[in-house]
Every structure is written in C-alpha cells, then in structure tokens.
Amino acid sequence: MGLNLTQKIIKSHLAFGDMVTGTEIAIKIDQTLTQDATGTMAYLQFEAMGIPKVKTELSVSYVDHNTLQSDFRNADDHIFLQTVAAKYGIHFSRPGNGICHQVHLERFGKPGKTLLGSDSHTPTNGGIGMLSIGAGGLDVAVAMAGQPFYLPMPKVVRVELKNRLQPWVSAKDIILHLLSLLSVKGGVNKIIEYGGEGVSTLSVPERATITNMGAELGATTSIFPSDEITRLFLKAQGRENDFVALCADQDATYDEILEIDLAKLEPLAACPHSPDNIQPVNNLNLKVDQVAIGSCTNSSYTDMKRVAEILKGKTIHPNVSLVISCGSRQVLEMLARDGALAELISAGARILESACGPCIGMGQAPKSGAVSLRTFNRNFEGRSGTKDALVYLVSPETAAASALTGKITDPRTLGLYIPVSLPKKYLLDDRLILSPFKTPTEVEVVRGPNIKPVPLGEPLLDQLRLPVVIKVGDNITTDHIMPAGAKILPLRSNIPAISEYVFNSIDPDFASRAKEVKQSLIVGGSNYGQGSSREHAALAPMYLGVKVVMAKSFARIHKANLINFGILPLEFLNPSDYDSLCLNDCLVFNNLKQSLQQGEVSLINERTGDEIKLKVNLSKRQLNIVTKGGLLAYTKAVSFSQNPRCL
C-alpha cells in the first residue's frame, strides 16, 4: 500500500515510534524559525541547556512582531536576538526584512524538509511541500539542541480540490470555506493534505495562504505537493536547486477525505469573533471604518499587486482608513520599483512596515465600535486592540473593493477580473539577513534590563489542595490567557512583569488572586488554548502558581506548552462535571503520581464532597516531564549523549 505525502516525510524523519495514529512519535527537525515575540525566551532556554551551537541544518531568528520601539525594551530584545544568533550559529533576519513566514517561504523553505517554528502559523511553508509545524519556544529550543520533536501521530485528511476558482474568488475563500466545514477545532491532531486537479491551478503564494490558516482549524499542519508550480516559484527565487518533486502515491490511503469544488466557491468573510463564523460577502451589507491588508496570510507580491491594480486611479472612501503592510522587504521593494506602491499611496493607503503590525494588535487599533475588514488570520475579540471592534476576515480582493465603496463589497462587482502574473524572477537581496559569526567566542551576548532569567517549574507533588482560581468557557484563546498588543508584547522577556496581565481581558483580578493563593487550578471548556503558539500563556500562569488545568479538551500547541512548563493538563471524564465547579472551590488530589500512571485521576471537591474523575491523556514521556517540573528541567536531567528514545 502506498504512502501519502505526509507519511513519506514523517517516515524519512522518524526518530522514535511507529506511524500509528494517536501514538507518540518523534521526528528529526531540519530547520527552525523563531520570531521576536517568542524568540527571546526560546534563546534564553537554549542558552540554559549549555549547547555551544545549534545542531539543525538551518535556524533563523526573525524580528517581525515587536518592531514598534516606543521605549528601550523592544530594541534591547532585538540586539539580544542579534548577538545570540551570531554566537550560536543562527541566521538573523533584521527588523524591516519582513514577516518570518513570508521570508522563510521566499528564501529558506525546502520541499520534503521539516520546519519547527515558535509561531502557530509556521505551516505557511506547507505551501512548498515542507512539513512545517508550530510549537512553543521551548520545543524549538530543544530542537535547536539537536533533539527530535515529539507529537501524537496525526490523522491525515485529504482535501480533494476540483476544478478551478472563478474570477474574483481567491485562495482565502478556499480556507474560509474549509473553516465553515470543520470549525476551529475540526483539525486538532490532524494534518490537512491537499490534492486533486485543482492544486495545479494554485500558485505557491495561494497555497501558502491556505496552509497558513490551517492553524485556525487547530491542525498540526497543512501541506501541498511539491510540483512544477513549486519548481517555478523556487526558480524565480533563485533557488531551483532546492526543488524536490513530492506527491502522494496513487494508492495512498487517508483517515478522512473531503472534496471542495473550487468552481462553486464565492467570496466569503469570517465574521466576529471567530475564524469559523463564515458568511458569504453578499450576505453582509455593513459600513466599513477600517481596512487592513497584509499579515503573513495575504501579503505576497501577487496579493499586493492585485490590490494596487484594483485601486489604480481611484481614491478610497472618505470614511475608510486603509493600511497596508507588505510581507517582506522583497515584496515592498518590488512594488516600489514597478510603480504599484505609488498607486497604493495615490489611492490613500497608509503604508506600514513589513511586519505583523495590526494583526497582533501592534498599532492601527480601530476606533470604538468600528467594523474592520482585515486580510489576516484571526479575529478574536479584542485582538485588534479595540475590545468592541467588529473584525471581519476577507480576501485582499474583497478588502480592496470595500475600501473603495465604504461598505463590505463583493469584488465580483468590480467588473472584468484583473489577472496578475507571478514574476519570472523575484528581486533577490539578502543583505538584511545576517549570517552567524565564524568566530563565536568573539561575540558578547547583549542583555538589556528587561531580559530576566527563565523561571523554572517545580516537581509535581503527590498531594495537592488547589483552589479554582478561574473558570472559563469554550474556545478560550491564548489571546484571552496572555494578551498581545503594543502594551504587553514588550514584556515577553520578563515573565514577572508579563504575568500581571494573565487573563486580563476576562478577569483583571486574576493575577493578584493567583499570587494570593500561591498554588491554584484553572477550569476550562472545550478547545482550551486555541490560537497562537505563545508559550507565555503557559509560562506566566506557571509563574503565578497554576499547577493543573482541567478542561473538556485542549488545543494541541497549548497542551504541549502546559506540559513543557510543568502544568498538568487533565480532561473531564464526564464533561457535565465541568458545570458543578465554581470559582474558589478547593479540589483535593491524593496519590496523584500513582493515579497518573494508571491513566485516571480522581479528586474531591471540598465544597460539595463530590468526586470528579479526569482522563490522563499523556504519554509516559510527557508524564515524566510534568513530574520533573517541565521540559527544561527534564532535558537538563537527561544526557544529550543518550539515544533520543530516552528523551
């Protein structure tokens, strides 16, 4: 029996385990990427392991999140990242060079290789046939130290693409349609593999848009075949030698198969406040206050060029603020050289830095109660920086049409479709990507006063009495747990300071209450911790004394991050027990370590006397990590000279 594309790459990188769905495997990691919001902590963790040089084929540190330098803190992090990269064998993409996923796709991604990134949208590089997985920064640090990455062997879902898109319907509409079918938790512990005749009609940037937003499905990653379209893209980037043809065997099998007829799709929008709240654009007739085009999802040259063609010779609506952020310096300079940038400026667009910017709440917050159309990947409540803003996710075509009319507008009303061809040769200039020093001993790592040591977890105790310090509902995101934005992101390298903002948007008193009780427990609903890979959503609660999170179910990356920092994730055996718990209930665990080994934990609610049973959905290795107080302590306790199977 043949193998699918996912199985082929996993098999060639398998370091531990068997490719049996649901069992734990470990894969060798070829490349890593970090960004500055997660990278500073990841490199502090890497330093703590005492490894003199990264052991991957390639590791790249990007500065693309915290680029707004309102005081010294972000700038201090940037020089720390630059000097760490120089010392430990890491390439450094300077501020202004672009968003990590876009730049990596352009300059470094290779079909058939594995990529682990400390950002949930790392699967973007699945658009060129890489197995690209988002993870917490500590997992990436361990991979840079030469260790494999552990995960449950995912189910593989084939999405069969038929026919081709109609004019003015885009790749963004494909992934929004898939979100409407599967929901934000429909991809958990699954890899989405695309195939069918429709694949050959999609360019690499279009494929990357789709794999990028696979993160919103909760999927482990998404991947396209590496074919002639891939080869032409790599050739245009001056990297044809990196091309490898990869596809599924004809007799490959899948756990699930879905079919999407591209010809039947129409322009779609994700309505507030979830990427799976999908409506046809035609159903929406709302006045628009802000339009933002860019982010790692839709900031390629072809995206921006089409927007420029739509706006050419026109002026945006007087009541609309239009902001544009190109995905890379390459894109921005090419637009400048071919005149498209002038068309955007002439139409009234405000040009931002080639960085994440508004997508993570780093500037350009909309006005109170605004309707903001964004080509981004997430529209969680408050993520824009304005709590009562209504954020809709749309394609660049829909965004540009709406910027002209002042209301949400179907781009099919624009008339004849404007084709935009892929460049036969991209502008190649890597001067803002710095190579590591050849003499690392000469490099002094620079640490500003905001960079604090990595806090360590404590070994798990056998007896625990924990108060419920907060109870939250379904689909709680890492934005809810650990907010981003211009105020909080500069604190990413200072856990004592950033911990003051845990759950701040839901319960401003959470941090003070957690510190007062010293040790505590969180109760959550389904899909707890969906969204970004930010490990601070686990690290900061650990610092505040959270020992256990009980939930109906967990998002993949956040569950791994909880384990990495010694917080025990447990799932309700009977979901109705969730309803019986109240804030400040004290829950008593006895003989916890033995119960964990048996796969089921019981506790007593002191208020009611009720017994609550919980599932332990952890591997033996994960149990050892939690018991020792987290992955850093566990990794330091195990010699790197040992076989990876011992880790």
Instruction: From 548, 543, 416, 436, select the one nearest 482 (Cα to Cα).
Output: 543
Is 70 exceeded by the pLDDT of residue 6? yes
Average pLDDT estimate for 17-24 = 96
Cα–Cα distance between 107 and 234 in angstroms, integer?
9
pLDDT the model gives residue 642: 47
19: number of Cβ within 10 Å: 15
- Domains in the chain (CATH in brackets) are 5-264 (3.30.499.10), 268-414 (3.30.499.10), 464-646 (3.20.19.10)
Give this prediction's pTM: 0.94
Reported confidence tier of residue 638, pLDDT bands at 50, 70, 90: low
The burial class, CB within 10 Å (0-12 / 13-18 / 19+), for 279 is: middle
Annotated catalytic residue: which of 30, 119, 242, 410?
A: 119
Annotated catalytic residue: which of 30, 59, 61, 64?
A: 64
Is 60 exceeded by the pLDDT of residue 639? no
Q: Mean pLDDT, the chain, as a whole number?
A: 95
Cα–Cα distance between 76 and 321 in angstroms, integer?
32
Question: What are the tokens at 353?
Answer: 């830095």
Annotated catalytic residue: which of 299, 532, 533, 553?
A: 532
Question: What are the tokens at 333?
Answer: 């300079």
| pLDDT tens for each residue of 408-441 | 999 999 999 999 999 999 999 999 999 999 999 9
Reported confidence tier of residue 454, pLDDT bands at 50, 70, 90: confident
| pLDDT tens for each residue of 196-254 | 999 999 999 999 999 999 999 999 999 999 999 999 999 999 999 999 999 999 999 99
pLDDT the model gives residue 486: 82
Annotated catalytic residue: which of 30, 36, 65, 595?
A: 65
| pLDDT tens for each residue of 111-146 | 999 999 999 999 999 999 999 999 999 999 999 999
Average pLDDT estimate for 100-105 = 98
| pLDDT tens for each residue of 322-363 | 999 999 999 999 999 999 999 999 999 999 999 998 998 889
Q: Over pLDDT 70: what percentage of the chain? A: 98
Average pLDDT estimate for 60-79 = 93
* Residue 249 designated active-site: no
* Residue 532 designated active-site: yes
- 285's CB contacts (< 8 A; 6+ apart) are 407, 408
Annotated catalytic residue: which of 378, 383, 412, 536?
A: 378
Average pLDDT estimate for 150-160 = 97
Helix axes 329-338, 100-107, angle to 10 degrees: 80
Question: What are the tokens at 22?
Answer: 């649901």
Average pLDDT estimate for 461-477 = 96
| pLDDT tens for each residue of 550-589 | 999 999 999 999 999 999 999 999 999 999 999 999 999 9
Reported confidence tier of residue 645, pLDDT bands at 50, 70, 90: very low
User: Which residue spans within 142-255 are E strands per DSSP?
Assistant: 149-152, 155-162, 190-195, 221-223
* Residue 378 designated active-site: yes
Average pLDDT estimate for 40-46 = 94
Annotated catalytic residue: which of 13, 534, 556, 558?
A: 534
* Residue 462 designated active-site: no
Bridge partners, residue 372, by sequence: 290, 391
Reported confidence tier of residue 484, pLDDT bands at 50, 70, 90: confident
Cα–Cα distance between 81 and 90 in angstroms, integer?
10
* Residue 255 designated active-site: no
| pLDDT tens for each residue of 512-538 | 999 999 999 999 999 999 999 899 999
Greater confidence (67 vs 60) lies with 60
* Residue 507 designated active-site: no
Bridge partners, residue 35, by sequence: 62
22: number of Cβ within 10 Å: 10
- Secondary structure class of 519 (helix, strand, coil): coil
Q: Evaluate whether 183 touches 406 at the Cβ level (below 8 Å).
A: no
Cα–Cα distance between 485 and 321 in angstroms, integer?
20
